[in-house]
Amino acid sequence: MDDRQKLLHDWTEKLLVSFEIDGTEVDIDAVLDLAAKAAHGVVRPAAPLTTFVVGYAAGLAVASGQAEEQVAMRSAIAVAEALCAETAAEEGSE
């Protein structure tokens, strides 16, 4: 694990503890990949907004019993990635 990965891992752990959800598995690479897709496929400020909405949607799915954590997160990321790709394709055709 390089310094950047360790810093992100440690930061994520601090966030999880602070929100009293430690033990929650976070796929940091998947979240960062999604942020990059939103930033490049839509517009840069879409990155944090997209990751927030994806996390919120996944959390709602888990809280309502619709899906388990990992399934909810993978599904929410997949929806957002498809939307980013669709938006990027539309922007490229204009």
Is residue 89 in a domain?
yes
How many domains in the chain? 1
Is residue 7 in a domain?
no
pLDDT over 90 for what percent of the chain? 90
Is residue 58 in a domain?
yes
Task: Give pLDDT, residue 93.
Answer: 62
Q: In whole numbers, what is the pLDDT of the chain averaged over residues?
A: 94
Is residue 84 in a domain?
yes
Domain range for 70 = 25-93
Is residue 20 in a domain?
no
Residues 58-94: b if buried by 16+ CB within 10 A, e if exposed: bbebbeeeebeeeebbebbbeebbeebeebeeeeeee
Token output for 47: 């990155």
Whether residue 94 has pLDDT greater than 80 = no
